[in-house]
Chains A and B, each alone.
Chain A
Amino acid sequence: MSSLALEVLTGAVTGGTAILYAASGETISERAGVVNLGTEGNMLVGALAAYAVASQTGNPWAGVAAAGVAGGLLAFVFAWFVIDRKANQLATGLLVLFLALGLTSLFGGSYVGAQVKALTAWKIPLLSKIPWVGTILFNHDPLTYLSFVLVPAIWWLLFRSRWGVLLRAAGERSEVLSTYGHRVAPLRYLAVVAGGVLGGIGGAHISIAYANAWFENMIQGRGFIAVAVVIFAARQPFRVMAGAWLFGAALALSPALQARGYGINQFALDALPYLLTIVVLVVLGRRGVAEAPEELKKVFETAGN
């Protein structure tokens, strides 16, 4: 049984990493008042870009960089429509996802059989020797380790840096920001594009560190999970990490049980994180914390057009 817990917890980190990147990116974006339902699309273009470039250059880090660029570019397109053209964010996010599905299918076919040098697991000396914790946290690929650093960095950026204050102001009270002579649009662009870059890197984790393959539509809904994680975490970076790992654990539980000979209907398990998210919303809502940024509320509460 303890081996099961160990395996699921390790799997939670491995499987949760891609979600964590994408959800962290979405957190930055939402803090600036922009929700991007097309996170799945950012991951998809990132996955293909990483795989294609890694197979061409033989360097997985070049792939990671390309994934960031691809995710950022797609997010830029999204940003132009929702910031400059003021198109509805939810609808535009879905459209950008459709765009990504089509583009990656059109240009990805030739990379399906390609070979890449993957980002492989690297045991951190000493730390990986710690019982339990060592296995769960310190026997992963470098992108996973990077995510450990990324989360506190984003927290610092959002809540301790001047840039973060401005960015959150763009999400809370953009008119105040304008009054003080700051331009809101560039801040939002920056946040959305940063979100796209991280989403792309999340996709790269799937294609060149985790599954080591490129196939059409290979993200299979993990980008939507990332959006749910951000809601679950009320846009708090560390809670995003916990949420991503929680959803990762739910994904890891089914194969772990099956390999031990248990036949389970995994879909009851799959629904749990979403239901839990709703419960969290109810509890937090009661306490009056976890309010969405004001500008984001406007998006969620503005059905007209």
Chain B
Amino acid sequence: MTAPTAPPASSDPPGVDDEAPIDLTDHVAPVVADEPPTPRSWKGAGRWAVAMSLAIVIFGGLMLMKGVNPVEAYRSMIQSTFSNSDAFGGIFVRATPIMLAALAVSVPARAGLINVGGEGQLIIGGVAGAGVSLAAGGSLPAPVVLLLMALGAMAAGAAWSGIAAGLRLGFGINEAVTTLLLNYVAVDVMLYLIYASWKDKNGSGQPASAPLPVGQRLALLGTSRVHIGIIIALVAAVICWLVLRRTSWGFRLSVVGGNPEAARRSGLRVNSLVLSAMLVGGALAGLGGLTQLAGAEFKLRPGFCATYGYLGFLASWLGRHRPLQVAVAALVLSAIAIGGDSLQIDSNLPGATVNILIALVLLAAFAAQRGAKESS
């Protein structure tokens, strides 16, 4: 269903060189093209509506079981999320690392790779950013340091995913497995540092790195609490979209993702494409870690970016790995998470309750998505 069936080998022109993959168009079509609007997609939309309503009704039922009026709860959830500028801004602050971590899944996915390591790549990005700040802190002007931090974070994120890419290319170990394992290692690297040499000497005694000096923090948008990270993330989404769609690199990635064997036979350098896709993904997540560090938290602490990588993974699947849809998916997920504040403050439900709503909405989306495809 996913991998398009390879056309007969004879249709592959022999010795097509790297730069001229035009003959492979037919391999690519199933991955890239969008279906035209047909009555079927209306049916799909109907299925979406049913699935979403079901999710909302089920969650409402659960709230009812806890003695909360669901209509009232939903109403105040929407109201307090969208009428309060801090909550509204919080959506974008929360969405920034999730969006970048999601793109870190989408780009490798184009080449048929599964990056489950957004979590670890975010954290390593944050660690590298903090490290650059510590190393270069006083000696350079703050904007230069910030730029170096961003570059360091991207390099570190790329290196982290690069390990997984190297293990795949060198030893044939699946990247989904190694990126998952490396998530734990990344957490331990960060904890090791903030418990020891990076622990803030002037801090409270809790494990955390020293807060970034004000000059090394991302600027805020106007008077809001939203930092410019969201702009970076949205621009990254648009660039990913353009690059995957318009450049030959993006095209070749989808060839590899569509049918690696055919791609190899037609002379594409599959290995370097796989590596580059993973590196770009890791760099995006590394940048996400930096935006969280320099935009929202200013220091590393236990729980830094926790679950954001996994939420990004979900956002990428929700948006079918298409950068623009993925960006929207990240915003939607964040909006629901921020709406969870109201479930606590207004409806007096436990804080983790919102996880149920996130899960139900996404499960509904998955069910409807797959259903739509089956009918096409």
Chain A interface (Cβ < 8 Å from any Cβ of B) = 37, 81, 85-88, 90-92, 94-96, 98-99, 101-106, 109, 216-217, 224, 227-228, 231, 265, 267-268, 270-271, 274-275, 277-278, 281-282, 285-286, 292, 297, 300-305
Q: Assess whether B136 is interfacial by the CB under 8 Å rule.
A: no
Query: Given A81-B367, A87-B366, A96-B359 in contact, is the A105-B192 Cβ separation under 8 Å?
Result: no
Contact between B176 and A90, CB atoms less than 8 A apart: yes
Query: How many residues from B make CB contacts under 8 Å with A?
Result: 61
Taking CB atoms, residues of chain B closer than 8 Å to A285 are 171-173
Main secondary structure of the interface of B (DSSP, over half): helix
Taking CB atoms, residues of chain A closer than 8 Å to B373 are 305
Contact between B313 and A94, CB atoms less than 8 A apart: yes
Contact between A305 and B317, CB atoms less than 8 A apart: yes
Q: How far is the CA of A300 from the CA of B112 in the complex (A)?
A: 10
Q: Assess whether B213 is interfacial by the CB under 8 Å rule.
A: no
Q: Which of A109, A281, A300 lies in contact with B176, CB distance below 8 A? A: A300
Q: Which of A99, A216, A227 lies in contact with B360, CB distance below 8 A? A: A99
- Look across to chain A and name the residue whose beta carbon is closest to the beta carbon of B351: A105
Chain A nearest CB: distance from B17 CB in Å? 26
Chain B, range 338-376, C-beta contacts under 8 Å to A: 349-360, 362-363, 366-367, 369-371, 373-374
Taking CB atoms, residues of chain A closer than 8 Å to B2 are 302, 304-305
Q: Assess whether B273 is interfacial by the CB under 8 Å rule.
A: no
Given A99-B359, A106-B350, A305-B321, 7 extra CB contacts under 8 A: A98-B356, A98-B358, A102-B352, A274-B188, A277-B181, A278-B173, A297-B174
Query: Given A227-B180, A231-B177, A303-B109 in contact, is the A274-B185 Cβ separation under 8 Å?
Result: yes
Q: Which of B174, B355, B371 lies in contact with A300, CB distance below 8 A? A: B174
Q: Assess whether B195 is interfacial by the CB under 8 Å rule.
A: yes
Q: Assess whether B167 is interfacial by the CB under 8 Å rule.
A: yes
Contact between B192 and A90, CB atoms less than 8 A apart: no
Taking CB atoms, residues of chain A closer than 8 Å to B1 are 86
Taking CB atoms, residues of chain B closer than 8 Å to A282 are 167, 171, 173
Query: Given A98-B355, A227-B180 in contact, is the A90-B369 Cβ separation under 8 Å?
Result: no
Q: How far is the CA of A105 from the CA of B233 in the complex (A)?
A: 32
Contact between A301 and B112, CB atoms less than 8 A apart: yes
Q: How far is the CA of A104 from the CA of B351 in the complex (A)?
A: 11
Q: Which of B174, B313, B374 lies in contact with A91, CB distance below 8 A? A: B313
Q: Which of A96, A103, A268, A274 lies in contact with B184, CB distance below 8 A? A: A274
Q: Assess whether B123 is interfacial by the CB under 8 Å rule.
A: no
Contact between B192 and A265, CB atoms less than 8 A apart: yes
Taking CB atoms, residues of chain A closer than 8 Å to B174 are 292, 297, 300-301
Q: Which of B62, B182, B191, B366 lies in contact with A85, CB distance below 8 A? A: B366
Q: How far is the CA of A91 from the CA of B314 in the complex (A)?
A: 6
Q: Which of A87, A216, A227, A292 lies in contact with B367, CB distance below 8 A? A: A87
Contact between A228 and B192, CB atoms less than 8 A apart: no
Q: Which of B3, B171, B196, B366 has the most CB of A within 10 A?
A: B366
Taking CB atoms, residues of chain B closer than 8 Å to A297 are 174
Q: Assess whether B249 is interfacial by the CB under 8 Å rule.
A: no
Q: How far is the CA of A231 from the CA of B174 in the complex (A)?
A: 11
Q: Assess whether B108 is interfacial by the CB under 8 Å rule.
A: yes
Chain A nearest CB: distance from B63 CB in Å? 9
Taking CB atoms, residues of chain B closer than 8 Å to A265 are 192, 195-196
Taking CB atoms, residues of chain A closer than 8 Å to B159 are none
Q: Which of A91, A103, A271 lies in contact with B188, CB distance below 8 A? A: A271
Taking CB atoms, residues of chain B closer than 8 Å to A278 are 167, 173, 178, 181-182
Q: Which of A98, A103, A106, A274 lies in contact with B181, CB distance below 8 A? A: A274
Query: Given A86-B370, A95-B362, A292-B174 in contact, is the A228-B181 Cβ separation under 8 Å?
Result: yes
Contact between A304 and B352, CB atoms less than 8 A apart: no
Q: Assess whether B40 is interfacial by the CB under 8 Å rule.
A: no
Query: Given A228-B181, A271-B185 in contact, is the A305-B369 Cβ separation under 8 Å?
Result: yes
Taking CB atoms, residues of chain A closer than 8 Å to B111 are 303
Q: Assess whether B116 is interfacial by the CB under 8 Å rule.
A: yes
- Look across to chain B and name the residue whose beta carbon is closest to the beta carbon of A305: B320
Contact between B314 and A95, CB atoms less than 8 A apart: yes
Q: How far is the CA of A278 from the CA of B168 in the complex (A)?
A: 11
12 contacts between A and B (CB under 8 A): A91-B317, A92-B363, A95-B358, A102-B358, A106-B352, A231-B180, A271-B189, A274-B182, A297-B174, A300-B176, A303-B111, A305-B370
- Look across to chain B and name the residue whose beta carbon is closest to the beta carbon of A38: B359
Q: Assess whether B257 is interfacial by the CB under 8 Å rule.
A: yes
5 cross-chain pairs, A with B, having the tightest CB-CB distances, nearest first: A102-B356, A105-B352, A102-B355, A271-B188, A303-B109
Contact between A301 and B114, CB atoms less than 8 A apart: yes
Q: Which of A228, A275, A281 has the most CB of B within 10 A?
A: A281
Contact between A286 and B352, CB atoms less than 8 A apart: no
Taking CB atoms, residues of chain B closer than 8 Å to A228 are 180-181, 184
Chain B nearest CB: distance from A26 CB in Å? 13
Taking CB atoms, residues of chain B closer than 8 Å to A302 are 2-3, 112, 114
Q: Assess whether B310 is interfacial by the CB under 8 Å rule.
A: yes
Q: How far is the CA of A265 from the CA of B189 in the complex (A)?
A: 11
Q: How far is the CA of A109 from the CA of B353 in the complex (A)?
A: 12
Q: Which of B109, B181, B195, B354 lies in contact with A304, CB distance below 8 A? A: B109
